[in-house]
Homo-oligomer: A and B are copies of this chain.
Amino acid sequence: MDQLSRTFAALADPTRRDLVARLASGDASVAELAAPYAMSLQAVSKHLSVLERAGLVSKRREAQRRPVHLEAEVLAPVTDWLELYRRRAEDRYQRLDAVLAELAADEAYPQTAVFARPPRNNQPEGTNR
């Protein structure tokens, strides 16, 4: 699985998002993190492993404790990806408005023209999971 997929997948769980949210205001041990939830410590530990494999979190060692630290930088590529396509779709929308206005001014048959695009041929970054 690629990095971006791992990050999105890691954040696709309410408990894990809550962990990230809490870690944003400071490091905490596994037991501290686990306390509020109605699930076993092991389950929380697993959630933290998922976050760790996604690079969202790191643990250092301090006696028996394993203080967890949020690595917030890795959120940046995710935001970038989202912004890229949000913006692109928005731009296209505005261009569409312009095109429609122009068509209306000319003579115009409806939106079918907008719809016929040259077939693209890009592969996804990696199709397997």
Measured CB to CB, the residues of A under 8 A from B are 2, 4-6, 8-9, 11-15, 17-18, 20-28, 32, 35-39, 67, 70, 72, 75-76, 78-79, 81-83, 85-86, 88-90, 92-93, 114-115, 117, 119-127, 129
- Across the interface, A89 reaches (CB within 8 A) one of B14, B72, B114, namely B72
Q: Which residues of B contact A13 (CB under 8 A)?
A: 5, 129
Contact of A85 with B125 in the complex, beta carbons under 8 Å: no
Q: Which residues of B contact A115 (CB under 8 A)?
A: 26-28, 67
Chain A residues touching B, majority SS: helix
Contact of A89 with B70 in the complex, beta carbons under 8 Å: yes
- Tell me, rounded to whole Å, the shortest Cβ–Cβ distance linking A117 to chain B: 5
**For the complex, what is the distance from the CA of A12 to the CA of B6, rounded to whole Å?**
7
Contact of B15 with A127 in the complex, beta carbons under 8 Å: yes
- Tell me, rounded to whole Å, the shortest Cβ–Cβ distance linking A17 to chain B: 7
Contact of B24 with A119 in the complex, beta carbons under 8 Å: no
Q: Which residues of B contact A18 (CB under 8 A)?
A: 122-125
- Across the interface, A85 reaches (CB within 8 A) one of B6, B20, B86, B123, namely B20
Contact A14-B22, Cβ < 8 Å, known A72-B85, A85-B75, A86-B79: no
